[in-house]
């Protein structure tokens, strides 16, 4: 993806969002609502938390990290597909893809604005929440935290690119991104620890990159950082970035053969 394409797409999305006067305010209100809900849910279970959760900043810290990553995962998994669908419905897709820019960099650029928005919300929400709970991490944890964030990004993004390319072809459904997000909400340890799941579901949870991302982030913030989740994320990222360019090109070719880029 060229820097110019990334900058132009970000600028386009920012200017578009800025024309909706209440856009930023509504997102902040949503974030505040989420923090309050998490706070009250955590208070409901105060004193009854499983012992393992104290290492994750109590249930409030556990939930805040889970919800923040879930928001980020949604932006990564579904962001490009949503943008593709929006371009199909508004009618700009054909004009954009008639340009000489290849589809993969175009898809990457489409996902940037939702991703940055989700990252800022996650950062703001988690910082405020952890500050309120007096659980802000020490500065010496920052390098580990940044490594976990970077690997999470690299491991999850290929799924969204694949979903975006699939939407070019299918025009409506993005079973990959949405399915993986739904599975993550259920199995990856967003709102409750993976340990409480039946053994078979725990085995399934291991196959989700979000499970390792949540473990890595929580360990980087509150616990003892271990190599296992980071290595798993690196493996997901390596496989994802090796396969996704081929898959996106194949889906793009199929979409052009079926006329899916010009018939929505």
Partner 1 sequence: MLDGSAASTYTCDVAPSPLLTATALTVRFPEPLTFRGLIGRRAPPRTVLEGVDLTLGPGEIVGVLGANGGGKSTLLRVLAGLVAPTIGAVEWGPSVSAPALGVADERSFHWRLTVAENLRYFAALQGAAPAAVPEALARVGVLDKADVPVRICSSGMRARLGLARALLRAPPVLLLDEVERGLDAEGRTRLTAVLAEYANRGRAVLLATHDPAMAPSMTRALVLRGGRLVFDGAPAAAFEASSAGAPT
Nearer to partner 1, 47 or 259 (CB): 259
DSSP 8-state secondary structure symbol assigned to residue 264: -
Query: Residue 76: which of 38, 109, 114, 124 has the closest Cα?
Result: 114
Which 7-66 residues touch partner 1, going by CB under 8 A? 7-9, 11-12, 15-16, 19-20
Q: Classify the phi-psi angles of 45: left when phi > 0, otherwise alpha if psi is within -120 to 50, otherwise beta.
A: alpha
Minimum distance from residue 105 beta carbon to partner 1 (Å)? 10
Q: Report angle CA 141, 71, 180 to the nearest 5 degrees.
A: 110
Nearer to partner 1, 44 or 246 (CB): 246
DSSP 8-state secondary structure symbol assigned to residue 136: P
Minimum distance from residue 263 beta carbon to partner 1 (Å)? 7
Interface mask toward partner 1 for 101-130; x: CB under 8 A: x----x------------------------
CA distances from 151 to 11, 29, 65, 188 (A): 26, 30, 16, 16
Question: Among 32, 46, 98, 238, which residue interacts with partner 1 (rule: CB under 8 A)?
Answer: 98
Which 58-97 residues touch partner 1, going by CB under 8 A? 90-92, 94-97
| Secondary structure (3-state) at 243 | helix
Minimum distance from residue 117 beta carbon to partner 1 (Å)? 17
Nearer to partner 1, 98 or 206 (CB): 98
Which helix (H) or strand (E) is 36 found in, with range? helix 23-44
Which helix (H) or strand (E) is 162 found in, with range? helix 142-170
Question: Among 1, 5, 173, 186, which residue interacts with partner 1 (rule: CB under 8 A)?
Answer: 5
Nearer to partner 1, 190 or 248 (CB): 248
Give the C-alpha separation, 210 to 187, whole Å.
9
Which 236-255 residues touch partner 1, going by CB under 8 A? 253
Residues found near partner 1 in the complex (CB under 8 A): 4-5, 7-9, 11-12, 15-16, 19-20, 90-92, 94-101, 106, 253, 256-259, 261-263
């Amino acid at each position: 993806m060229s820097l110019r394409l990334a900058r132009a797409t970000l600028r386009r999305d920012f200017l578009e969002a800025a024309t909706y006067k209440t856009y930023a305010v509504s997102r902040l209100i949503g974030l505040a609502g989420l923090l309050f809900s998490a706070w009250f849910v955590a208070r409901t279970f105060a004193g009854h938390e499983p012992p393992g959760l104290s290492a994750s900043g109590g249930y409030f810290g556990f939930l805040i990290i889970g919800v923040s990553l879930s928001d980020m995962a949604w932006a990564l998994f579904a962001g490009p597909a949503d943008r593709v669908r929006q371009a199909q419905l508004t009618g700009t897709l054909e004009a954009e893809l008639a340009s000489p820019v290849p589809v993969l960099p175009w898809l990457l650029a489409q996902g940037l604005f939702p991703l940055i928005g989700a990252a800022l919300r996650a950062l703001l929400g988690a910082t405020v929440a952890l500050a309120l709970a007096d659980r802000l991490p020490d500065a010496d944890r920052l390098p580990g935290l940044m490594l976990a964030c970077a690997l999470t990004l690299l491991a999850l993004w290929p799924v969204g690119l694949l979903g975006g390319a699939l939407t070019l072809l299918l025009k409506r459904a993005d079973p990959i991104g949405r399915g993986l997000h739904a599975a993550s909400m259920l199995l990856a340890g967003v709102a409750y620890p993976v340990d409480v799941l039946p053994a078979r579901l725990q085995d399934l949870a291991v196959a989700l990159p979000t499970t390792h991302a949540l473990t890595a982030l929580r360990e980087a913030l509150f616990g003892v950082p271990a190599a296992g989740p980071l290595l798993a994320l690196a493996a997901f990222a390596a496989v994802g970035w090796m396969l996704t360019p081929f898959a996106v090109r194949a889906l793009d070719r199929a979409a052009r053969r079926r006329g899916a880029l010009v018939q929505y």
